């Protein structure tokens, strides 16, 4: 009997967990309708923390936020920019783009700040970091993928570094 699992492609990406950012969000401001889609919002990163095996620190309060565009098909197109500060004082600029979508019932529950399960929606981001040379410059030398977790009035984003 042959193995039903196909061989892995030799260039298949490998990821390493880097850190999780937990962000408390402000109440959004809406532009309805937006000239770019059905709705745009502005929501600020009120406060937060981040922690992983190689780094930890805080989200600098009110240093930026997300300006998501809700497309006519319901897909949320994220555009987030805010500052982190590592425990050693290093400032880190984070810019992240991504998408969230789900069946209409789940999107309505998330909009109402109700809890949903991680398999009830798709929420992924692709960040870039700007960081000074030094102990954390590895962040500006790698590609990352963020798997985001929607929690009421907050987001948790688990970042994985592409090796």
pLDDT of amino acid 3: 67
3: tokens are: 């193995």
Domains of the chain (ranges, CATH numbers): 15-162 (2.40.160.20)
**Span 143-148, mean pLDDT?**
96
pLDDT of residue 18 exceeding 90 = yes
pLDDT interval class at 33 (50, 70, 90) = confident
pLDDT of residue 62 exceeding 90 = yes
Q: Which residues contact 96 (CB under 8 A, 6 or more apart)?
A: 78, 79, 80, 81, 125, 126, 127, 128, 146, 157
Q: What is the pLDDT of residues 124-142, one digit of tens each?
A: 999 999 999 999 999 999 9
pLDDT of amino acid 1: 57
Global pTM reads 0.89
pLDDT of residue 119 exceeding 80 = yes
**Span 58-63, mean pLDDT?**
97
């Amino acid at each position: 009997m042959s193995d039903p699992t196909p061989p892995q492609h030799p260039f298949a990406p490998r990821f390493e967990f880097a850190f999780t950012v937990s962000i408390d969000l402000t109440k959004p401001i809406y532009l309805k309708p937006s000239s770019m889609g059905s709705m745009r919002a502005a929501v600020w990163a009120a406060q937060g923390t981040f922690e992983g095996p190689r780094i930890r620190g805080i989200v600098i309060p009110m240093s930026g936020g997300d300006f998501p565009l809700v497309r006519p098909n319901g897909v949320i197109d994220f555009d987030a920019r805010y500052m982190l500060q590592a425990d050693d004082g290093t400032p880190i600029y984070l810019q992240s783009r991504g998408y969230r979508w789900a069946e209409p019932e789940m999107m309505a529950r998330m909009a109402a700040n109700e809890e949903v399960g991680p398999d009830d929606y798709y929420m992924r981001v692709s960040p870039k970091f700007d960081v000074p040379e030094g102990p954390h410059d590895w962040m500006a030398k790698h590609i990352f993928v963020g798997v985001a977790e929607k929690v009421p009035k907050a987001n948790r984003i688990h970042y994985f570094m592409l090796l």
